[in-house]
Structure formats: C-alpha cells, structure tokens
C-alpha cells in the first residue's frame, strides 16, 4: 500500500488579549515603585536605608563591635544572607559608611585600606579582598539593647534568618549623618548636623515643644568642612518645612611667595575633579586669564587643590569669579523625606524629632518590659532559694533519699511549697555551693532586685521618666562622641563682594563692524603686530572704534532694536580671523542686520538720529541704561521715516547736511532738543521740497572757516544754501574724505 503523506500541522493563531494600560501599571509597575520607595531609596526614622541596616546588623552578628577587623570580602559575603542584591552593591554601601571614605560626619565603620574619598570622583577604592573593617564605637548606640525587644524583628528574604526592622539608635541619627536617595516619583536629601547640637536641640524639644531650634542648631555640618553661608530666613524655612537650599563654599589660603591659591576644603556636593575640569574650561574659553595652572595635590594628609596665578592678581576678586562660575561655591538642596511606619512623609526638624521621640519611647518601653520580666524571674528564683535557707539539711536529705531522678523536683516542690522553676533552680546548685554563706550572699541580692524592679516599673508607667531617661542618654552620647564642628558658619551679610568693575580685566580693545555683519574684538596689544584685517569676500568695514574691555556695547539693528553685550563676555579675535557672525551671536531675527554700535562705560553723551524726511532726534545714551541685565531693547529709535544715519556725540558738534547734491546746510547739534523717549520722531532740521531728501551728513569740524560761515544757520528748520558747480565738486570730495567721518 502506498504510504500516506503526512498532513501539515494546523497554523498556530496567536491570541492577543487587549489589556488596559491602567491595569498594567497597577499590577506590574506599582509594586515595583513601592518596593523602591519602601525597601531601597528612602531612609527610615533610624537614619538608615535597608541596605545600610542589613550590612551593619550582619557586622554586629559577626562580633565586629570589638576585636580585630575582618576582611571586607567576608563581611560582604555574610551580608548576602540578608541582602540579595549582589556583592558589588553591598561593597559600595560599605565603602560609603567607612571612616576612610569620609562621606559621613560620624562614620559607622572603622576601616583599614583604600576606600576612596568623598571629595574625589576618580579615586577608586580597593577591592574587598584587600581592605578590612569593623564597627566603629558609635555603633554601640545604634545597637543599644537590641536583644531586649527594643525593635521588632522580621524574616529575611528567604525566611531563614531574622533581621531588625529598625535599629534602636539612642540619638536622632537621621539628622546627624547625610543621606540621599532617588526613588520612583520621589526623592530624599538629608544634610548632616553637628552631633552635639542635635542632641542639645532634641533635649530642648523634649522639654519644650515650642522651643526655637535655631538657638541650638547653628546650621548643617559636613565631613568635608568648608564654609556655610548662613541665611537665617532660608535655614528657618528648612527647619520648619524640610525643604530648601543653602550654599557651601571652599576654604582656601594664599601662598604669596609662590603665587598659589591652596584649596583645602570643598563643598560636600562636588568633587575636586569636577572643579578642575570647570576651571580648565574657563581658562580655555578666555573667561579667566589670571590662572596659569591648576592641579590636584591631594595626598594621605587630605585634600589640596593648587591654583597657580599670575603676579599682582587680586586673589579675592579671582576667588569671587570662581565662586560664581565653578562648584567652589555650591548649593545643597534639602528634601527631608523619610518613611514613618512605612509611609513617606516630608517633615521639618520638629516633625522628625517628634517621630524619633515616639520611636525611642516605644523602644525603651520594650527594653523596660524585658528587664522587668527578666529581673522578676530572677527575684522569683531567689525567693525560692530563701525558703530553703533555714533547712539546708532537709534539702540534701530529700535529694539523697529520692530513688529516681525525675522525682527530685516534685519532692522539693512538695516539701518547701516551691514551684517548678524554683525547684529546678535549687536542684541545679552545685554541691560545693550548698552552704549557708553562698545562700546568704545570693539572697542579699533580693532587696536590690526588688528596688530595681520598683524603679523599672515606675519608669515604665511614667512617660515623663522615660523622656528624662532619653535626655540622659543624649547627654552621654554628646559627651562621648562629640567632636569639633567641621563646617564653619559665615553669615551672608558678612560676605564681602568686590565691586563689579573689579571682576572685569580692563585693557584697551578695538571694535570692528562689517557690512556683512561680522564683528571683531581685538586687543590693542594684538593690533600692534596685526596685518591686514581678514574679511569675507566682497565685505567691507562699516565702522571701527576704540574702547576698553570693561565697556558695555550697544548694537543697533535696522529693525529699531538694540542688543546689549558686555565687552568682557565677547571672545577676542585676531586680525587673521573673520570674527563673530552677529546674527548668531545676538540671535537676530531673519533678515535683521546691525547698522551701528556704541561702546560706553558710563552711558554719558547722546545719540543723533537723522531720517530721510529731514528730521533729527537727539536721545541721551542713558535712555538705554537698564537696572536689570536686559539683552534686548525694542523701539530703540523712530520707525516713522527711514533712518539715514546715526552717530554717537559725546559733546555738541557742528554738522553739514547735503540735500540732493544741490543744497547744503551747517548747524550745531545744540539746536536739537533732547528727546524724552527713545523712539521720538525728532524735529525738522531741513525744509525739504517734494521728492527731495537728505543724501549725506558729515562732521564740519575740518571745513574751511569761510565755508562754515557761508553754510551756517542759527535756527532750524533751515532751507539751506544752493551750491554752484565749484562748491558742489569740492563738497562732494570733502564728504568722501576721512575727515568727514562721524
């Protein structure tokens, strides 16, 4: 029989089930977001994130509170029983907690080896097999009485171990060490405060919730030192709301012998490499010319950033430039967002102290209840021991005469009215201790125990006594672990700012404006050795002027706009370059061109505008001066008639005007009234007939005296004087000469 051909399998039709995006977010994304918020990025009231807590508790369980240090790799490996996120992440967490790294004001880990530095971006920490760690002494305050039911314990990720939900820290660690984290949809940023100030503020708050925190907290304190620019209003806002920012700046000294600025402390928020990169960029851009070299001279003794400067440099002015343009002055933005009972909350310092106080009261109540229970059991055993004091022989006789071991306890209970715990305790006493002296010494403890139990019960029942106990512990912590403030306080109103003109290096420059709207700024030093000015093909120089690097430059466009720039903000050029293209430099509108520029340092003098309709306007240059640093002013001059010419007149001068090459008029600008507005239409200077216009304007200072007398007018408007052929030819030659330029 012929074989049957195999049939092809039926095609699989893929089933696509539509799912609303809101359901997908709720089922898949929200659990992830909440996990990041609650279990990773946001600290809790003990001042620790879960990664910190798991690491420190592992070290505590390893017995690293005392004794020799252990290899970091061993600590990392043990921590993975609680934190399954990988050894690299755990070691990075460990690095930040170490004394060697210097990120914390009060480090939790005593370290040996290279752990990098908080102030360095590029200094890599050594591998964990090379470094050693143990817990720092202050960790005794984190784990105080942790085995006395002070905090709840929960299962680890695979339910094989127990770990604390929080650590029973005896001081508000959340405020003492900096902590930053970015979660999903929220973030947290805690600055650090001085330990002794925090303890004092907490004690004051416990005694009076209406206390003024600024009386105790001077301001944030950082392990990297530096100077805090103290703004009382801003810090009070941070204290009240938990949000706000403050400024930190570096600490430096100046070595006059070597012309070197030595920076020894920088803001906590930056690194020495970032500062160096920014300074180099400023020097290359020509914005700072005083610096000749910058280098990192940090060593085992600490940070040192060396900045070599030129001779006769005003160091205070240079440093203010660097403060403005580099992270040598930086801001720390506060966002006191923390988890309270698993819920994120943004609190002011009083809110944080209240939350910590309630947490600490709960911890102490658990500890007191534990001690009462333990001491109560001990007292109960001693009461049983006291009962056999008068008849020790009977106890010995009962134990000796009892045939079976399991009957010893029942026989003792029956003979002396003891309970099972008391009977077992007596039965376990060593034979050498069954004597009157031993039993008397033990029973003497009963009175002390009763007094101690009474004190513990009274404390447990009184919240006021618990608060007093917290205050006592805070005083002990401040005394034992307090150290000098690292960050110095500098009131904002005491910060001296040099005059603005000191920030600009003043030297002579020459400005060039071309017909094709190219602009050059060339120093007079460069001009001495400069050859012919390089221009674009078919381009020509429209105007040139001399000024200084401290001047403001006003660029007037053909669309009645004026653009303002500071000369020191403009790049220097060489004669061999075409310069800056003004439409790009000034962000001009399409088709807009710059027709005139005026440099000024004091906005004195006036601008004269001449229009084709025979009118002229005299506008004081001060009309273009603004209090704010505006870059563009509109309606810079009148748009009623096409602009024929404009020029700057520092003082009154004589001008000669040519009409249609057949008439001329000479008048003084003193005849023009000063306009009250920039875009005034001006006054009629020349009486024009129909279809006639002003064709040329020139400075009449170099005209022959007889010509001045012939063409001069003492009032405006003027009809001018007719020109004969000889005068016309001579006057046209004068207008074309350099002497006629305005």
By annotation, the residues acting in catalysis are 130
Alpha carbon distance 677, 693 (integer Å): 25
d(CA 661, CA 729): 10
First-last CA distance in the chain: 116
Question: Contact at 8 Å (CB) between 334 and 352?
Answer: no
What is the radius of gyration, based on Cα positions, of the chain?
43
For 583-720, strand residue ranges (E) read 594-600, 606-611, 615-620, 632-633, 643-649, 654-659, 663-668, 683-684, 694-699
Cα separation, 244 vs 202, in Å, equals 21
Instruction: Please name which of 53, 50, 96 lies closest in space to residue 72, comparing C-alpha atoms.
Output: 96
Q: How far is CA 666 from CA 596, 612, 681, 688, 696, in A?
A: 24, 17, 21, 15, 12
Distance CA 88, CA 128 (A): 9
The DSSP annotation for 63-130 comes to TTTSSS-EEHHHHHHHHTTT-TT-HHHHHHHHHHHBTTTT-SSS-SEEEES----TT-SS-PPPPTTT
Nearest Cα to Cα of residue 695 among 619, 616, 610: 610
Rounded Cα–Cα distance for residues 317 and 307 (Å):
14
Q: Are 649 and 578 in contact (CB under 8 A)?
A: no
CB burial class (10 A; 0-12, 13-18, 19+) of residue 15?
exposed
Does residue 198 contact residue 174 with C-beta atoms inside 8 Å? no
CA angle 347, 352, 355 (to 5 degrees): 115
- List residues bridging with 684 in a β-sheet: 615
The set of residues, in sequence order, having a beta carbon less than 8 Å from that of 22 and lying 6+ positions away, is none
Task: Determine the distance from the C-alpha atom of residue 16 to the mean position of all C-alpha atoms in its chain, rounded to a whole number.
Answer: 49
Q: What is the largest CA-CA distance in the chain?
A: 159
Secondary structure (3-state) at 559 = coil
The CA-based dihedral angle spanning residues 77, 82, 87, 92, taken in that order and rounded to the nearest 10 degrees: -110
The four Cα atoms 559, 560, 564, 567 give a dihedral, to 10 degrees, of 70
| Helix orientation angle between 463-481 and 436-461, rounded to the nearest 10 degrees | 100
Other Cβ atoms closer than 10 A to 341 = 9
- Alpha-carbon distance of 448 to 312, in angstroms, equals 78
- Partnered with residue 511 across adjacent β-strands are 521, 545
Residue 112, beta-bridge partner list: 132
| 387, 428 contact by CB (below 8 A) | no
How many CB atoms lie under 10 A from the CB of residue 519?
22
């Amino acid at each position: 029989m012929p074989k049957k051909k195999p049939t092809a399998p039926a095609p699989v039709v893929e089933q696509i089930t539509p799912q609303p995006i809101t359901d997908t977010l709720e089922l898949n994304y929200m659990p992830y977001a909440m996990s990041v918020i609650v279990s990773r990025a946001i600290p809790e009231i003990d001042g620790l994130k879960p990664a910190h807590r798991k690491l420190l508790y592992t070290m505590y369980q390893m017995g690293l509170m005392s004794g020799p240090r252990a290899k970091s790799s061993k600590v990392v490996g043990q921590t993975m029983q609680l934190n399954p996120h990988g050894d690299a992440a755990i070691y990075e967490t460990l690095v930040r907690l170490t004394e060697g790294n210097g990120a914390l004001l009060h480090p939790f880990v005593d370290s040996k080896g290279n752990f990098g530095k908080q102030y360095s971006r590029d200094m890599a920490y050594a591998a964990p097999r090379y470094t050693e760690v143990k817990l720092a002494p202050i960790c005794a305050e984190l784990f105080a009485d942790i085995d006395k039911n002070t905090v709840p314990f929960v299962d680890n990720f695979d339910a094989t171990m127990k770990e604390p939900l929080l650590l029973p820290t005896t001081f508000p660690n959340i405020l003492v060490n900096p902590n930053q984290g970015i979660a999903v949809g929220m973030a947290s940023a805690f600055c650090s405060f001085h330990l002794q100030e925090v303890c004092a503020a907490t004690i004051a708050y416990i005694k009076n919730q209406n206390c003024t925190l600024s009386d105790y907290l001077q301001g944030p304190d950082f392990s990297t030192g530096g100077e805090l620019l103290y703004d009382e209003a801003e810090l009070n806002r941070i204290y009240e709301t938990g949000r706000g920012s403050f400024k930190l700046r570096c600490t430096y000294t100046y070595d006059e012998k070597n012309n070197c600025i030595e920076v020894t402390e920088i803001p906590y928020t930056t690194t020495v490499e970032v500062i160096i990169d920014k300074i180099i960029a400023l020097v290359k851009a020509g914005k700072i010319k005083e610096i000749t070299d910058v280098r990192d001279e940090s060593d085992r003794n600490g940070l040192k950033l060396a900045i070599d400067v030129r001779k006769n440099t005003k160091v205070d002015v240079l440093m203010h430039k660097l403060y403005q343009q580099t992270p040598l002055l930086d801001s720390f933005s506060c966002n006191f967002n923390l988890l309270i009972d698993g819920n994120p909350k943004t609190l002011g310092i009083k809110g944080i102290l209240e939350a910590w106080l309630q947490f600490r009261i709960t911890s102490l109540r658990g500890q007191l209840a534990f001690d009462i229970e333990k001491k109560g059991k001990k007292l109960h055993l001693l009461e049983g021991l006291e009962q056999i004091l008068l008849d020790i022989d009977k106890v010995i006789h009962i134990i000796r005469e009892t045939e079976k071991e399991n009957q010893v306890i029942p026989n003792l209970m029956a003979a002396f009215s003891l309970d099972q715990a008391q009977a077992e305790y007596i039965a376990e006493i060593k034979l050498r201790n069954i004597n009157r002296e031993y039993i008397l010494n033990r029973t003497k403890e009963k009175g002390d125990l009763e007094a101690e139990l009474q004190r513990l019960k009274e404390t447990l029942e009184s919240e006021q006594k618990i608060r007093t106990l917290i205050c006592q512990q805070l005083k002990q912590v401040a005394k034992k672990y307090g150290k000098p403030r690292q960050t110095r306080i500098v009131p904002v109103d005491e910060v001296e700012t040099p005059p603005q003109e000191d920030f600009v290096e003043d030297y002579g420059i020459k400005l060039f404006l071309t017909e094709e709207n190219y602009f050059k700024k060339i120093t007079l030093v460069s001009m001495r050795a400069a050859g012919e000015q390089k221009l674009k093909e078919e381009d020509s120089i429209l105007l040139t002027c001399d000024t200084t690097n401290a001047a403001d430059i006003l660029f007037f466009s053909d669309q009645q706009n004026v653009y303002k720039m500071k000369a020191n903000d403009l790049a220097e050029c060489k004669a061999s370059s075409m310069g800056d293209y003004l439409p790009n430099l000034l962000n001009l509108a399409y088709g807009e061109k710059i027709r005139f520029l005026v440099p000024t340092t004091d906005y004195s003098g006036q601008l004269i505008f001449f229009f084709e309709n025979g009118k002229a306007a005299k506008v004081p240059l001060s009309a273009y001066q603004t209090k704010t640093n505006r870059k563009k002013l509109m309606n810079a001059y009148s748009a009623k008639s096409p602009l024929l010419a404009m020029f700057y007149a520092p003082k009154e001068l004589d001008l000669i005007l040519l009409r249609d090459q057949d008439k001329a008029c000479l008048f003084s600008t003193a005849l023009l009234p000063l306009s009250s507005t920039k875009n005034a239409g001006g006054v009629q200077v020349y009486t024009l007939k129909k279809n006639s216009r002003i064709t040329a304007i020139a400075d009449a200072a170099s005209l022959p005296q007889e010509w001045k007398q012939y063409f001069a007018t003492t009032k405006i408007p003027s009809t001018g004087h007719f020109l004969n052929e000889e005068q016309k030819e001579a006057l046209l030659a004068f207008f074309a000469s350099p002497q006629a330029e305005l």
